[in-house]
Structure 1
Amino acid sequence: MERHLLLTMGGDGGRAWNLNFAGGFFRNKTEMRLTLFYVVQEAYCDRPGGCELSENDMRTARVQLDKAREHAIKLGFVPDNVECKAVPRQFGVVRDIVAEGHRGLYDAVVSGRRYRGFLEQLYGSSVSRGLLWEDIAFPLWICHEPDPGLSNVLLCVDGSDENLRMADHVGFMLAEETHSVTLCHFRDPAIDGFLAIEGARAALVANGVDASRVEVLSLEAHDRAASILRIADEGGYAVVAVGRRHGLPDNLMRRMFGGTVSERLHTKVDRFSLWVSK
Protein backbone atom coordinates (compact mmCIF):
# COMPACT_ATOMS: atom_id res chain seq x y z
CA MET A 1 0.00 0.00 0.00
CA GLU A 2 1.44 3.37 -1.02
CA ARG A 3 2.49 5.78 1.72
CA HIS A 4 3.24 9.42 0.86
CA LEU A 5 5.30 11.73 3.07
CA LEU A 6 5.92 15.46 2.77
CA LEU A 7 9.43 16.23 4.04
CA THR A 8 10.22 19.86 4.84
CA MET A 9 13.65 20.82 3.55
CA GLY A 10 15.95 23.62 4.69
CA GLY A 11 19.51 24.53 3.81
CA ASP A 12 21.00 21.18 4.74
CA GLY A 13 20.30 19.11 1.62
CA GLY A 14 21.11 15.45 2.12
CA ARG A 15 21.98 15.92 5.80
CA ALA A 16 18.36 16.57 6.78
CA TRP A 17 17.42 14.57 9.87
CA ASN A 18 13.86 13.94 8.71
CA LEU A 19 15.12 12.35 5.50
CA ASN A 20 17.67 10.24 7.35
CA PHE A 21 14.99 9.14 9.81
CA ALA A 22 12.64 8.01 7.04
CA GLY A 23 15.47 6.19 5.30
CA GLY A 24 16.58 4.35 8.41
CA PHE A 25 13.22 3.62 10.04
CA PHE A 26 11.41 2.17 7.03
CA ARG A 27 12.67 -1.03 5.45
CA ASN A 28 9.99 -1.44 2.79
CA LYS A 29 10.51 1.57 0.53
CA THR A 30 9.16 0.24 -2.75
CA GLU A 31 5.76 1.86 -2.23
CA MET A 32 6.96 4.86 -0.23
CA ARG A 33 6.61 8.23 -1.97
CA LEU A 34 8.48 11.33 -0.82
CA THR A 35 7.86 14.95 -1.69
CA LEU A 36 10.85 17.09 -0.68
CA PHE A 37 9.39 20.53 0.01
CA TYR A 38 11.38 23.77 0.16
CA VAL A 39 9.82 27.13 1.04
CA VAL A 40 12.06 29.90 -0.35
CA GLN A 41 12.04 32.72 2.18
CA GLU A 42 13.77 35.21 -0.12
CA ALA A 43 11.00 35.24 -2.74
CA TYR A 44 9.95 38.63 -4.13
CA CYS A 45 6.47 39.67 -2.99
CA ASP A 46 4.58 42.68 -4.29
CA ARG A 47 1.40 41.85 -2.37
CA PRO A 48 0.16 39.22 0.11
CA GLY A 49 -0.02 35.93 -1.74
CA GLY A 50 1.72 37.44 -4.78
CA CYS A 51 5.26 36.10 -4.49
CA GLU A 52 7.63 34.98 -7.21
CA LEU A 53 10.97 33.20 -7.30
CA SER A 54 13.92 34.73 -9.11
CA GLU A 55 16.19 32.50 -11.14
CA ASN A 56 18.81 32.78 -8.39
CA ASP A 57 16.26 31.73 -5.77
CA MET A 58 15.29 28.74 -7.88
CA ARG A 59 18.92 27.79 -8.41
CA THR A 60 19.56 27.78 -4.65
CA ALA A 61 16.45 25.70 -4.00
CA ARG A 62 17.33 23.25 -6.77
CA VAL A 63 20.83 22.72 -5.37
CA GLN A 64 19.45 21.81 -1.94
CA LEU A 65 16.64 19.67 -3.31
CA ASP A 66 18.93 17.85 -5.74
CA LYS A 67 21.27 16.98 -2.86
CA ALA A 68 18.36 15.73 -0.80
CA ARG A 69 16.92 13.70 -3.68
CA GLU A 70 20.30 12.10 -4.40
CA HIS A 71 20.62 11.16 -0.73
CA ALA A 72 17.08 9.75 -0.65
CA ILE A 73 17.95 7.45 -3.55
CA LYS A 74 21.11 6.33 -1.74
CA LEU A 75 18.93 5.51 1.25
CA GLY A 76 16.94 3.12 -0.91
CA PHE A 77 13.94 5.14 -2.07
CA VAL A 78 12.80 4.50 -5.64
CA PRO A 79 13.92 7.41 -7.88
CA ASP A 80 10.53 7.74 -9.57
CA ASN A 81 8.91 8.05 -6.13
CA VAL A 82 11.00 11.04 -4.96
CA GLU A 83 9.58 14.40 -6.03
CA CYS A 84 11.12 17.83 -5.40
CA LYS A 85 9.00 20.93 -4.93
CA ALA A 86 10.13 24.52 -4.30
CA VAL A 87 7.62 27.30 -3.69
CA PRO A 88 7.92 31.01 -2.83
CA ARG A 89 6.99 32.03 0.67
CA GLN A 90 3.43 33.32 0.50
CA PHE A 91 2.03 33.58 4.03
CA GLY A 92 4.99 32.48 6.15
CA VAL A 93 6.98 29.25 6.21
CA VAL A 94 4.73 27.45 8.68
CA ARG A 95 1.47 28.42 6.97
CA ASP A 96 2.89 27.51 3.56
CA ILE A 97 3.89 24.06 4.82
CA VAL A 98 0.42 23.58 6.34
CA ALA A 99 -1.23 24.63 3.07
CA GLU A 100 0.84 22.13 1.11
CA GLY A 101 0.18 19.42 3.68
CA HIS A 102 -3.55 19.85 3.24
CA ARG A 103 -3.43 20.36 -0.51
CA GLY A 104 -1.37 17.25 -1.18
CA LEU A 105 -3.30 14.87 1.10
CA TYR A 106 -0.03 13.47 2.46
CA ASP A 107 -0.02 10.68 5.02
CA ALA A 108 2.25 12.79 7.23
CA VAL A 109 4.29 16.00 7.23
CA VAL A 110 7.82 15.33 8.45
CA SER A 111 9.96 18.08 9.96
CA GLY A 112 13.51 17.68 11.22
CA ARG A 113 15.27 19.32 14.13
CA ARG A 114 18.16 20.35 11.87
CA TYR A 115 15.65 22.07 9.57
CA ARG A 116 14.07 23.71 12.58
CA GLY A 117 17.42 24.99 13.79
CA PHE A 118 18.30 26.40 10.36
CA LEU A 119 15.08 28.38 10.19
CA GLU A 120 15.35 29.55 13.79
CA GLN A 121 18.71 31.08 12.97
CA LEU A 122 17.19 32.99 10.09
CA TYR A 123 13.76 33.89 11.40
CA GLY A 124 13.97 33.53 15.18
CA SER A 125 11.11 31.07 15.41
CA SER A 126 10.56 27.32 15.57
CA VAL A 127 8.84 25.87 12.54
CA SER A 128 8.17 22.51 14.19
CA ARG A 129 6.63 24.22 17.22
CA GLY A 130 4.58 26.40 14.90
CA LEU A 131 3.33 23.34 13.03
CA LEU A 132 2.47 21.68 16.33
CA TRP A 133 0.06 24.48 17.21
CA GLU A 134 -1.51 24.92 13.77
CA ASP A 135 -4.98 23.59 12.99
CA ILE A 136 -3.87 20.66 10.85
CA ALA A 137 -5.66 17.59 9.53
CA PHE A 138 -2.55 15.48 8.99
CA PRO A 139 -0.13 13.69 11.35
CA LEU A 140 3.04 15.64 12.11
CA TRP A 141 6.42 14.00 12.68
CA ILE A 142 9.26 15.88 14.38
CA CYS A 143 12.56 14.08 13.89
CA HIS A 144 15.87 14.19 15.68
CA GLU A 145 19.14 12.92 14.21
CA PRO A 146 18.35 9.22 13.79
CA ASP A 147 20.05 6.69 16.02
CA PRO A 148 20.46 3.32 14.25
CA GLY A 149 20.25 1.59 17.64
CA LEU A 150 16.62 2.66 18.15
CA SER A 151 13.56 0.84 16.83
CA ASN A 152 9.84 0.27 17.45
CA VAL A 153 7.05 2.64 18.46
CA LEU A 154 5.74 3.74 21.86
CA LEU A 155 2.08 4.63 21.27
CA CYS A 156 0.54 6.56 24.18
CA VAL A 157 -3.08 5.48 24.69
CA ASP A 158 -5.84 7.56 26.29
CA GLY A 159 -8.99 6.49 24.44
CA SER A 160 -9.60 9.86 22.75
CA ASP A 161 -10.60 10.24 19.10
CA GLU A 162 -7.24 11.90 18.46
CA ASN A 163 -5.47 8.92 19.95
CA LEU A 164 -7.47 6.46 17.85
CA ARG A 165 -6.54 8.45 14.76
CA MET A 166 -2.89 8.14 15.75
CA ALA A 167 -3.29 4.40 16.31
CA ASP A 168 -4.83 4.12 12.85
CA HIS A 169 -1.93 6.14 11.41
CA VAL A 170 0.72 4.04 13.15
CA GLY A 171 -0.97 0.87 11.91
CA PHE A 172 -1.10 2.15 8.35
CA MET A 173 2.53 3.24 8.33
CA LEU A 174 3.84 0.04 9.98
CA ALA A 175 1.66 -2.61 8.32
CA GLU A 176 4.47 -3.70 5.99
CA GLU A 177 7.30 -3.10 8.47
CA THR A 178 8.72 -5.19 11.32
CA HIS A 179 8.66 -2.69 14.18
CA SER A 180 6.66 -3.60 17.26
CA VAL A 181 4.20 -1.20 18.93
CA THR A 182 3.90 -0.77 22.69
CA LEU A 183 0.57 0.63 23.86
CA CYS A 184 1.41 2.82 26.84
CA HIS A 185 -1.56 3.68 29.06
CA PHE A 186 -1.42 5.77 32.22
CA ARG A 187 -4.16 4.65 34.55
CA ASP A 188 -6.80 7.28 35.27
CA PRO A 189 -10.17 6.81 37.02
CA ALA A 190 -11.78 9.03 34.38
CA ILE A 191 -10.70 6.73 31.53
CA ASP A 192 -11.74 3.16 30.79
CA GLY A 193 -8.27 1.75 30.30
CA PHE A 194 -9.46 -1.54 28.84
CA LEU A 195 -11.50 0.16 26.12
CA ALA A 196 -8.68 2.62 25.38
CA ILE A 197 -6.12 -0.15 24.96
CA GLU A 198 -8.38 -2.46 22.98
CA GLY A 199 -9.51 0.35 20.70
CA ALA A 200 -5.91 1.20 19.82
CA ARG A 201 -5.04 -2.47 19.40
CA ALA A 202 -8.01 -2.98 17.06
CA ALA A 203 -6.95 0.00 14.93
CA LEU A 204 -3.44 -1.42 14.56
CA VAL A 205 -4.61 -4.91 13.67
CA ALA A 206 -7.22 -3.59 11.22
CA ASN A 207 -4.41 -1.89 9.29
CA GLY A 208 -2.41 -5.12 9.00
CA VAL A 209 -0.15 -5.05 12.06
CA ASP A 210 0.05 -8.60 13.39
CA ALA A 211 -1.23 -8.91 16.96
CA SER A 212 2.07 -10.53 17.97
CA ARG A 213 3.80 -7.19 17.32
CA VAL A 214 1.59 -5.33 19.83
CA GLU A 215 2.56 -5.09 23.50
CA VAL A 216 0.84 -3.33 26.40
CA LEU A 217 2.27 -1.23 29.21
CA SER A 218 -0.16 0.07 31.86
CA LEU A 219 1.15 2.09 34.79
CA GLU A 220 0.63 4.96 37.20
CA ALA A 221 2.36 8.27 36.56
CA HIS A 222 2.18 11.64 38.27
CA ASP A 223 4.22 13.40 35.56
CA ARG A 224 3.22 11.82 32.28
CA ALA A 225 5.64 13.69 30.05
CA ALA A 226 8.59 12.70 32.28
CA SER A 227 7.34 9.11 32.36
CA ILE A 228 7.04 8.96 28.57
CA LEU A 229 10.57 10.31 28.19
CA ARG A 230 11.93 7.76 30.67
CA ILE A 231 10.12 4.83 29.05
CA ALA A 232 11.20 5.92 25.57
CA ASP A 233 14.82 6.19 26.67
CA GLU A 234 14.92 2.92 28.61
CA GLY A 235 13.08 1.02 25.88
CA GLY A 236 15.15 2.39 23.02
CA TYR A 237 12.09 3.47 21.03
CA ALA A 238 12.63 5.18 17.70
CA VAL A 239 9.18 6.83 17.78
CA VAL A 240 6.86 8.20 20.44
CA ALA A 241 3.33 8.65 19.06
CA VAL A 242 0.60 10.70 20.76
CA GLY A 243 -2.82 12.06 19.99
CA ARG A 244 -3.03 15.74 20.90
CA ARG A 245 -6.44 16.38 22.40
CA HIS A 246 -8.49 19.52 21.73
CA GLY A 247 -11.78 20.77 23.07
CA LEU A 248 -10.89 19.99 26.71
CA PRO A 249 -10.51 22.37 29.65
CA ASP A 250 -7.00 23.74 29.85
CA ASN A 251 -6.19 22.00 33.13
CA LEU A 252 -7.26 18.61 31.77
CA MET A 253 -5.35 19.17 28.52
CA ARG A 254 -2.24 19.83 30.53
CA ARG A 255 -2.68 16.53 32.38
CA MET A 256 -3.37 14.53 29.25
CA PHE A 257 -1.55 14.30 25.90
CA GLY A 258 -2.02 17.87 24.74
CA GLY A 259 -0.86 21.29 25.80
CA THR A 260 2.18 21.20 28.03
CA VAL A 261 2.82 17.46 27.62
CA SER A 262 3.12 17.71 23.83
CA GLU A 263 5.33 20.76 24.13
CA ARG A 264 7.57 19.09 26.69
CA LEU A 265 7.94 16.06 24.47
CA HIS A 266 8.65 18.37 21.54
CA THR A 267 11.46 20.15 23.36
CA LYS A 268 12.94 16.80 24.46
CA VAL A 269 13.13 15.18 21.02
CA ASP A 270 16.81 14.40 21.48
CA ARG A 271 16.77 10.73 20.44
CA PHE A 272 13.33 9.54 19.35
CA SER A 273 11.04 11.07 16.75
CA LEU A 274 7.70 12.48 17.89
CA TRP A 275 4.54 11.69 15.94
CA VAL A 276 1.48 13.82 16.75
CA SER A 277 -2.08 13.45 15.46
CA LYS A 278 -4.91 15.91 16.09
Structure 2
Amino acid sequence: MEKKVLIAVDDSRHSENALRYVAGLSESVSEMKFVLFHVQPTISQYLMDEARTKPSAYAELKKLEKKAHQTAQDLLQKDKALMISLGIAEENVQAITLPRKFGAAKDILEYGTALLYDAIVVGRRGVSGLAEVFMGSVSASVLDNSEVLPVWVIDEKAPPKGVMVAVDGSGSSLRAVDHLAFIFSGNSDITISFFHVAPRLADFCPIDFSKNDSSQLESVIEQGDRACIDRFYAHALKKFADAGISERQIHIDVHKGGFKVGKIIMDTYRKGGFGTLIVGRRGMNKKFFAGSVSRYLVNQFSGGALWVVP
Protein backbone atom coordinates (compact mmCIF):
# COMPACT_ATOMS: atom_id res chain seq x y z
CA MET A 1 0.00 0.00 0.00
CA GLU A 2 1.29 3.47 -0.89
CA LYS A 3 2.60 5.68 1.94
CA LYS A 4 2.47 9.46 1.53
CA VAL A 5 4.85 11.57 3.62
CA LEU A 6 4.85 15.37 3.79
CA ILE A 7 8.29 16.86 4.51
CA ALA A 8 8.34 20.46 5.73
CA VAL A 9 11.50 22.04 4.30
CA ASP A 10 13.44 25.26 4.65
CA ASP A 11 17.03 26.26 3.89
CA SER A 12 18.54 24.85 7.13
CA ARG A 13 20.82 21.86 7.67
CA HIS A 14 18.13 20.46 9.99
CA SER A 15 15.80 20.24 7.01
CA GLU A 16 18.54 18.45 5.08
CA ASN A 17 18.91 15.96 7.95
CA ALA A 18 15.20 15.19 7.61
CA LEU A 19 15.60 14.57 3.88
CA ARG A 20 18.54 12.23 4.44
CA TYR A 21 16.64 10.30 7.11
CA VAL A 22 13.57 9.65 4.97
CA ALA A 23 15.75 8.76 1.98
CA GLY A 24 17.50 6.16 4.14
CA LEU A 25 14.15 4.96 5.46
CA SER A 26 12.89 4.34 1.94
CA GLU A 27 15.34 1.43 1.70
CA SER A 28 13.21 -0.34 4.33
CA VAL A 29 9.78 0.92 3.25
CA SER A 30 8.03 0.00 0.02
CA GLU A 31 5.76 2.26 -2.06
CA MET A 32 6.81 5.48 -0.36
CA LYS A 33 5.94 8.85 -1.91
CA PHE A 34 7.36 12.18 -0.71
CA VAL A 35 6.12 15.74 -0.99
CA LEU A 36 8.56 18.53 -0.17
CA PHE A 37 6.44 21.36 1.21
CA HIS A 38 7.65 24.91 1.76
CA VAL A 39 5.61 27.81 3.13
CA GLN A 40 6.71 31.12 1.63
CA PRO A 41 7.07 34.19 3.84
CA THR A 42 4.36 36.68 3.05
CA ILE A 43 3.99 40.43 3.11
CA SER A 44 1.28 41.66 5.47
CA GLN A 45 -1.98 42.68 3.89
CA TYR A 46 -1.77 45.97 5.77
CA LEU A 47 1.48 46.84 4.00
CA MET A 48 0.04 45.82 0.64
CA ASP A 49 -3.07 47.96 1.18
CA GLU A 50 -1.02 50.96 2.30
CA ALA A 51 1.35 50.61 -0.64
CA ARG A 52 -1.50 50.69 -3.16
CA THR A 53 -1.67 54.47 -2.75
CA LYS A 54 1.98 54.71 -3.83
CA PRO A 55 2.59 52.93 -7.14
CA SER A 56 6.38 52.81 -6.73
CA ALA A 57 6.11 51.27 -3.23
CA TYR A 58 3.49 48.76 -4.45
CA ALA A 59 5.76 47.74 -7.33
CA GLU A 60 8.62 47.13 -4.89
CA LEU A 61 6.41 44.93 -2.71
CA LYS A 62 5.30 42.89 -5.73
CA LYS A 63 8.98 42.39 -6.62
CA LEU A 64 9.64 41.08 -3.11
CA GLU A 65 6.67 38.75 -3.41
CA LYS A 66 7.97 37.41 -6.73
CA LYS A 67 11.46 36.99 -5.29
CA ALA A 68 10.10 34.98 -2.33
CA HIS A 69 8.33 32.66 -4.77
CA GLN A 70 11.47 32.19 -6.87
CA THR A 71 13.60 31.57 -3.75
CA ALA A 72 11.12 28.90 -2.67
CA GLN A 73 11.25 27.26 -6.11
CA ASP A 74 15.06 27.23 -6.05
CA LEU A 75 15.06 25.67 -2.58
CA LEU A 76 12.64 22.94 -3.60
CA GLN A 77 14.58 22.10 -6.74
CA LYS A 78 17.77 21.80 -4.68
CA ASP A 79 16.06 19.55 -2.13
CA LYS A 80 14.47 17.43 -4.84
CA ALA A 81 17.86 16.99 -6.50
CA LEU A 82 19.30 15.87 -3.15
CA MET A 83 16.55 13.27 -2.73
CA ILE A 84 17.18 11.92 -6.22
CA SER A 85 20.94 11.80 -5.56
CA LEU A 86 20.18 9.74 -2.45
CA GLY A 87 18.42 7.11 -4.53
CA ILE A 88 14.78 8.25 -4.57
CA ALA A 89 13.11 7.90 -7.97
CA GLU A 90 12.17 11.29 -9.42
CA GLU A 91 8.54 10.26 -9.87
CA ASN A 92 8.31 9.60 -6.11
CA VAL A 93 9.26 13.16 -5.14
CA GLN A 94 6.93 16.12 -5.58
CA ALA A 95 7.69 19.73 -4.62
CA ILE A 96 5.04 22.23 -3.54
CA THR A 97 5.28 25.79 -2.26
CA LEU A 98 2.44 28.05 -1.16
CA PRO A 99 2.31 31.58 0.28
CA ARG A 100 1.80 31.68 4.01
CA LYS A 101 -1.89 31.93 4.86
CA PHE A 102 -2.36 31.44 8.62
CA GLY A 103 1.21 30.79 9.75
CA ALA A 104 3.82 28.25 8.68
CA ALA A 105 2.95 25.56 11.24
CA LYS A 106 -0.81 25.82 10.75
CA ASP A 107 -0.42 25.87 6.97
CA ILE A 108 1.68 22.68 7.12
CA LEU A 109 -0.85 20.95 9.37
CA GLU A 110 -3.86 22.04 7.33
CA TYR A 111 -2.28 20.94 4.06
CA GLY A 112 -1.17 17.60 5.47
CA THR A 113 -4.53 16.89 7.12
CA ALA A 114 -6.66 17.97 4.16
CA LEU A 115 -4.77 15.72 1.74
CA LEU A 116 -4.62 12.78 4.18
CA TYR A 117 -0.87 12.34 4.42
CA ASP A 118 0.37 9.46 6.53
CA ALA A 119 2.98 11.52 8.40
CA ILE A 120 4.53 14.98 8.61
CA VAL A 121 8.33 15.17 8.81
CA VAL A 122 10.11 18.12 10.43
CA GLY A 123 13.74 18.78 11.35
CA ARG A 124 14.68 19.98 14.80
CA ARG A 125 17.38 22.45 15.74
CA GLY A 126 19.19 20.69 18.58
CA VAL A 127 18.90 19.62 22.20
CA SER A 128 18.55 22.15 24.99
CA GLY A 129 16.54 22.90 28.07
CA LEU A 130 14.97 25.62 25.93
CA ALA A 131 13.79 23.05 23.42
CA GLU A 132 11.10 25.14 21.78
CA VAL A 133 13.62 27.88 21.02
CA PHE A 134 16.34 25.63 19.63
CA MET A 135 14.01 23.14 18.02
CA GLY A 136 12.50 25.93 16.00
CA SER A 137 9.07 27.42 16.63
CA VAL A 138 7.56 25.95 13.46
CA SER A 139 8.66 22.37 14.20
CA ALA A 140 7.58 22.67 17.84
CA SER A 141 4.19 24.08 16.86
CA VAL A 142 3.56 21.34 14.28
CA LEU A 143 4.39 18.69 16.89
CA ASP A 144 2.30 20.28 19.64
CA ASN A 145 -0.77 20.89 17.50
CA SER A 146 -1.04 17.82 15.30
CA GLU A 147 -4.19 16.07 16.53
CA VAL A 148 -4.52 13.60 13.66
CA LEU A 149 -1.25 13.02 11.81
CA PRO A 150 1.88 11.40 13.24
CA VAL A 151 4.84 13.80 13.31
CA TRP A 152 8.39 12.55 12.71
CA VAL A 153 10.94 14.84 14.34
CA ILE A 154 14.42 14.34 12.87
CA ASP A 155 17.33 15.39 15.04
CA GLU A 156 20.26 14.03 13.05
CA LYS A 157 20.88 12.23 9.79
CA ALA A 158 21.25 8.87 11.55
CA PRO A 159 20.23 5.86 9.43
CA PRO A 160 16.93 4.25 10.47
CA LYS A 161 18.63 1.09 11.87
CA GLY A 162 16.50 -0.63 14.52
CA VAL A 163 13.18 0.70 15.77
CA MET A 164 12.18 1.08 19.43
CA VAL A 165 8.57 1.61 20.50
CA ALA A 166 7.86 2.95 24.00
CA VAL A 167 4.51 1.50 25.07
CA ASP A 168 2.24 1.64 28.11
CA GLY A 169 -0.74 -0.45 27.00
CA SER A 170 -2.87 2.58 26.07
CA GLY A 171 -4.93 3.19 22.98
CA SER A 172 -2.41 5.80 21.89
CA SER A 173 0.38 3.23 22.10
CA LEU A 174 -1.70 0.88 19.97
CA ARG A 175 -2.15 3.63 17.38
CA ALA A 176 1.63 4.07 17.39
CA VAL A 177 1.99 0.33 16.69
CA ASP A 178 -0.63 0.56 13.94
CA HIS A 179 1.28 3.43 12.30
CA LEU A 180 4.55 1.52 12.55
CA ALA A 181 3.00 -1.65 11.11
CA PHE A 182 1.54 0.32 8.19
CA ILE A 183 4.79 2.10 7.35
CA PHE A 184 6.94 -1.06 7.53
CA SER A 185 4.33 -3.46 6.16
CA GLY A 186 5.86 -6.43 4.34
CA ASN A 187 9.37 -5.77 5.63
CA SER A 188 10.90 -9.06 6.75
CA ASP A 189 14.22 -7.54 7.87
CA ILE A 190 13.26 -4.69 10.21
CA THR A 191 13.91 -5.30 13.92
CA ILE A 192 11.38 -3.82 16.34
CA SER A 193 11.83 -3.53 20.10
CA PHE A 194 8.88 -2.91 22.42
CA PHE A 195 9.96 -1.14 25.61
CA HIS A 196 7.65 -0.90 28.61
CA VAL A 197 8.33 0.70 31.98
CA ALA A 198 6.15 -1.12 34.52
CA PRO A 199 4.59 1.45 36.88
CA ARG A 200 5.07 1.46 40.64
CA LEU A 201 2.83 2.61 43.48
CA ALA A 202 4.77 5.89 43.63
CA ASP A 203 3.68 6.65 40.07
CA PHE A 204 0.04 6.70 41.22
CA CYS A 205 0.26 8.06 44.76
CA PRO A 206 2.75 10.53 46.28
CA ILE A 207 2.24 9.21 49.83
CA ASP A 208 5.39 7.58 51.24
CA PHE A 209 4.10 4.15 52.35
CA SER A 210 6.24 1.81 54.41
CA LYS A 211 7.32 -1.42 52.71
CA ASN A 212 4.84 -3.51 54.72
CA ASP A 213 1.95 -1.14 54.06
CA SER A 214 2.57 -0.97 50.32
CA SER A 215 3.34 -4.59 49.40
CA GLN A 216 -0.27 -5.51 48.64
CA LEU A 217 -0.86 -2.32 46.67
CA GLU A 218 2.33 -2.86 44.67
CA SER A 219 1.12 -6.37 43.89
CA VAL A 220 -2.26 -5.08 42.66
CA ILE A 221 -0.55 -2.53 40.40
CA GLU A 222 1.88 -5.11 39.05
CA GLN A 223 -0.88 -7.63 38.27
CA GLY A 224 -3.08 -4.99 36.65
CA ASP A 225 -0.22 -3.68 34.51
CA ARG A 226 0.78 -7.18 33.45
CA ALA A 227 -2.79 -8.02 32.38
CA CYS A 228 -3.08 -4.72 30.50
CA ILE A 229 0.24 -5.05 28.70
CA ASP A 230 -0.44 -8.72 27.83
CA ARG A 231 -3.69 -7.68 26.13
CA PHE A 232 -1.82 -4.88 24.40
CA TYR A 233 0.87 -7.22 23.03
CA ALA A 234 -1.78 -9.63 21.74
CA HIS A 235 -3.41 -6.81 19.74
CA ALA A 236 -0.03 -5.45 18.62
CA LEU A 237 1.24 -8.82 17.39
CA LYS A 238 -1.95 -9.29 15.38
CA LYS A 239 -1.46 -5.89 13.74
CA PHE A 240 2.09 -6.86 12.81
CA ALA A 241 1.01 -10.26 11.51
CA ASP A 242 -1.65 -8.59 9.33
CA ALA A 243 1.10 -6.28 8.00
CA GLY A 244 3.39 -9.19 7.13
CA ILE A 245 5.81 -8.65 10.01
CA SER A 246 6.62 -11.84 11.89
CA GLU A 247 6.88 -12.30 15.65
CA ARG A 248 10.56 -13.27 15.30
CA GLN A 249 11.31 -9.65 14.27
CA ILE A 250 9.93 -8.33 17.56
CA HIS A 251 11.69 -8.09 20.92
CA ILE A 252 9.89 -7.23 24.18
CA ASP A 253 11.75 -5.50 27.02
CA VAL A 254 10.08 -4.63 30.34
CA HIS A 255 11.81 -2.35 32.83
CA LYS A 256 10.74 -2.53 36.48
CA GLY A 257 9.60 0.93 37.50
CA GLY A 258 11.54 4.12 37.95
CA PHE A 259 10.84 7.75 38.83
CA LYS A 260 12.18 9.20 35.56
CA VAL A 261 10.37 7.18 32.93
CA GLY A 262 11.40 9.49 30.09
CA LYS A 263 15.06 9.23 31.03
CA ILE A 264 14.84 5.43 31.25
CA ILE A 265 13.34 5.33 27.75
CA MET A 266 15.94 7.72 26.34
CA ASP A 267 18.86 5.88 27.97
CA THR A 268 17.61 2.55 26.61
CA TYR A 269 17.21 4.02 23.13
CA ARG A 270 20.78 5.33 23.12
CA LYS A 271 22.35 2.20 24.60
CA GLY A 272 20.47 0.02 22.11
CA GLY A 273 21.86 1.89 19.10
CA PHE A 274 18.41 2.47 17.63
CA GLY A 275 17.71 4.97 14.85
CA THR A 276 13.99 5.55 15.41
CA LEU A 277 11.97 5.96 18.62
CA ILE A 278 8.16 5.79 18.41
CA VAL A 279 5.78 6.93 21.13
CA GLY A 280 2.06 7.61 21.49
CA ARG A 281 1.23 11.16 22.52
CA ARG A 282 -1.44 10.17 25.03
CA GLY A 283 -1.00 7.33 27.48
CA MET A 284 -3.08 5.70 30.17
CA ASN A 285 -5.63 8.22 31.48
CA LYS A 286 -4.26 10.59 28.79
CA LYS A 287 -1.27 11.52 30.90
CA PHE A 288 1.36 8.79 31.12
CA PHE A 289 3.06 9.82 27.88
CA ALA A 290 1.17 13.07 27.34
CA GLY A 291 2.68 14.85 30.33
CA SER A 292 6.21 14.87 31.59
CA VAL A 293 7.29 11.72 29.74
CA SER A 294 6.47 12.85 26.20
CA ARG A 295 7.74 16.35 26.92
CA TYR A 296 10.98 14.93 28.27
CA LEU A 297 11.44 12.81 25.14
CA VAL A 298 10.75 15.76 22.83
CA ASN A 299 13.17 17.96 24.77
CA GLN A 300 15.99 15.47 25.22
CA PHE A 301 15.77 13.29 22.11
CA SER A 302 18.83 13.11 19.88
CA GLY A 303 20.40 10.80 17.34
CA GLY A 304 17.81 9.83 14.76
CA ALA A 305 14.04 10.20 14.53
CA LEU A 306 11.29 10.55 17.13
CA TRP A 307 7.84 9.60 15.81
CA VAL A 308 5.01 11.06 17.91
CA VAL A 309 1.62 9.50 17.16
CA PRO A 310 -1.57 11.27 18.38
List per-residue Cα deviations over 1:225-251 (Å, max 9, x = no partner): 0011111001011111011117947xx
Paired residue for 1:262? Answer: 294
Structure 2: distance between partners of 1:124 and 1:21: 17
Change (3 A) 1:163 1:14: closer
The structural deviation recorded for 1:135 is 4.3
Q: Which residue of 1 aligns with 2:45?
A: 46
Match of 2:2 in 1: 2
The offset of 1:113, in angstroms, is 1.5
1:170 matched residue in structure 2: 180
- Counterpart in 2 of 1:134? 145
Look up the equivalent residue of 1:37 and give its one-letter code. F
Q: What TM-score results when the alignment is normalised by the length of structure 1?
A: 0.86
For 2:164, the aligned partner's letter is L
**8 A Cα contact 1:152 1:179, kept in partner:** yes
How do 1:1-278 and structure 2 match up within 5 A?
1-12=1-12, 16-28=16-28, 31-41=31-41, 43-46=42-45, 54-114=65-125, 126-148=137-159, 151-177=161-187, 178-188=189-199, 189=221, 190-191=224-225, 192-222=228-258, 223-245=260-282, 248=285, 253=287, 256-278=288-310
Higher strand share: 1
Give the unaligned 5+ runs of structure 2.
47-61, 200-220
Q: CA deviation at 1:164?
A: 0.9
Number of equivalenced pairs = 265
Query: TM-score normalised to the size of structure 2?
Result: 0.78
**Cα distance in 2 between the residues matched to 1:30 and 1:203:** 18
Q: Per the alignment, do residues 247 and 216 of structure 1 end up closer, same or farther by CA in structure 2, a change over 3 Å counting?
A: closer
3-state secondary structure, aligned to 1:16: helix
Give the Cα separation in 1 of the matches to 2:182 and 2:292.
28
RMSD: 2.8
Moved more, 59-68 or 5-14: 5-14
**2-structure distance, mates of 1:124, 1:241:** 18
* Percent identity for Structure 1 against Structure 2: 27
- Indicate if the aligned counterparts of 2:14 and 2:123 stay in contact, CA closer than 8 A: no
Deviation sequence 1:115-146 (CA, Å, 0-9, x none): 999xx88x995222212221421111000112
Asked whether the 8 Å contact 1:116–1:127 carries over to 2, the reply is: no
- The amino acid of 2:6's aligned partner reads L
Q: Which has the larger radius of gyration?
A: 2
Q: Following TM superposition, by how much is the alpha carbon of 1:15 offset from its aligned partner in structure 2, in angstroms?
A: 6.1
Residues 69-126 of structure 1: per-residue CA shift (max 9 Å, x gap)? 0011111111011110111111111111110110121110000125999xx88x9952
Change over 3 Å in CA distance of 1:14–1:94 after alignment to 2: closer
In structure 2, how many angstroms separate the alpha carbons of the residues matched to 1:173 and 1:203? 12
**Separation (CA, whole Å) in 1 of partners of 2:257 and 2:303:** 22
**Unaligned residue ranges in structure 1 (runs of 5+):** none
